[in-house]
Chain A
Amino acid sequence: MPRGKRKLPEVSSGSMADIAFLLLIFFLVTTTIANDKGILLRLPPPPDPLQEQLDIKIPDRNIFTILANSKDQLLVEGEPFDGSMDELKDDVKKFILNFGKPTPEGIEIYNSLPPQMKAFVNANGRNPESSDDPTSLKSIVSFKSARGTSYDLYVGILDAMNAAYNEVYASRVGITTEEWLSLDRSNSLQKDMYNRGRNGIPRAISIAEPD
């Protein structure tokens, strides 16, 4: 062949990085990382007009009341409260783990607690004026807001109440609250841990309708 080796045509790739940068910046700007986390709440079923309203008397000592007015001021157990949400969480926790007058189931739960929690109960609880034990209907955390309460405060208080329960559950199985929240319930081992933590202590959070 008389002709020599033909030179292969080349596409200059020098601007490749620039093109990639351009695309990168476009996706950086349009990305919204989906936020699907939040505080779960289960609403009570709608009132049934045919059914008569059941009037269950629950003594005051078994209800921890938090009231918020439209100026975002708090009334906790009948007294004005201006502490932080952390303090509120601790108060709720003390209330749940009070064991003032435990029923047989309550005593059983107390006996199943790890030693440091028993120590916590004996140091902070045992108040006859506070909740009997953490079983169903024996300790209820109730929160009532006004129509003018800010949503921010509402979420803050809901968060504090949930934090108190999660702390109780987590320390029952000996893990931190963070670890408790990241338990994966599709994993049987972690689900078992979850059930052990919650067993016998229902998350009794009652949200009253604002007026």
Chain B
Amino acid sequence: MPKFKKNSNTSEDIPTAALPDIIFMLLFFFMVTTVMRETDIMVKQKIPRATQLTKIERKSLVSYIYVGEPKNVVLYGSEPKIQINDVFITEEDIIGFVNTEKDKLDEVERDQITMSMKVDVDVKMGIVSDVQQELRKANALKILYSTIKKVTK
């Protein structure tokens, strides 16, 4: 015997009239924050984690260099490669790349060009240091090792 009498005069439905509005709000949020990828990254990119992150102040001064093992191992082999824009390059081409990137900037800002290195965790230092030596020769001295925030205990 049920001791508790169910007295349900109140309606139990959650009003769903506002649901489309909520969804639209979320939709607009994602539409605004979305950045469509301009370049197709052809190397593996598992970015290392670190704690001491600095934020780039001026995004227009940043150029990206991707280093990692090619995703298409059959075509490009499993040795780590350097990618800029949409192509694989060798170390010798870096100076040329830096110079074209510098030409896009104002003359006064050329020394402040920041090279963001997006390097896969499995890469060895050899290739990274080769890239750095070339960057030194090209006089692009500001480097940002792209990392993700590490969650500390």
- Residues on A facing B (Cβ under 8 Å): 13, 16-17, 20-21, 23-24, 27-28, 30-46, 70, 145-152, 154-156, 158-159, 162-163, 166, 177, 181, 185-186, 209-210
Contact = CB atoms under 8 A, between A and B. Distances in A.
B145 A41 contact: yes
Nearest to B24: A20
Contacts of B149: 37
B119 A151 contact: yes
A24 B30 contact: yes
Interface in B101-141: 114, 116-117, 119-126, 128-129, 132-133, 135-137, 139, 141
A43 B145 contact: no
A147 B127 CA distance: 8
A131 B119 CA distance: 34
B59 to A, nearest CB: 6
Give the interface size bracket for B toward A: 35 or more
B54 A37 contact: yes
10 closest pairs, A vs B, by CB? A147-B126, A27-B30, A159-B50, A37-B53, A162-B52, A20-B23, A38-B146, A38-B144, A17-B20, A149-B125
Secondary structure type dominating chain A contacts: mixed
Given A32-B37, A36-B59, A158-B145, A152 B48 contact: yes
B51 A23 contact: no
Of the candidates B19, B62, B114, B126, the one having the most CB atoms from chain A within 10 angstroms of its own CB is B126
Interface of B: prevailing SS:
mixed
A33 B143 CA distance: 21
B151 interface: no
A31 B34 contact: yes
Given A154-B128, A210-B126, 17 more contacts: A13-B20, A20-B20, A23-B31, A36-B56, A37-B149, A38-B53, A39-B147, A40-B142, A43-B136, A145-B125, A147-B124, A150-B122, A151-B120, A156-B50, A159-B50, A159-B51, A209-B129
13 contacts: A13-B20, A17-B20, A36-B56, A37-B149, A39-B52, A39-B144, A40-B144, A41-B142, A147-B124, A150-B123, A155-B48, A158-B50, A163-B51
A97 B48 CA distance: 29
Contacts of A70: 124
Contacts of B116: 36, 38
Given A37-B147, A151-B123, A31 B33 contact: yes
Nearest to B120: A151
Contacts of A28: 30
B35 interface: yes
A181 B135 CA distance: 26
B89 interface: no
A45 to B, nearest CB: 7
B27 A23 contact: yes
Contacts of B54: 37-40, 181
Contacts of A163: 51-52
Contacts of B62: 36
Nearest to B56: A36
Given A46-B139, A152-B121, A30 B34 contact: yes
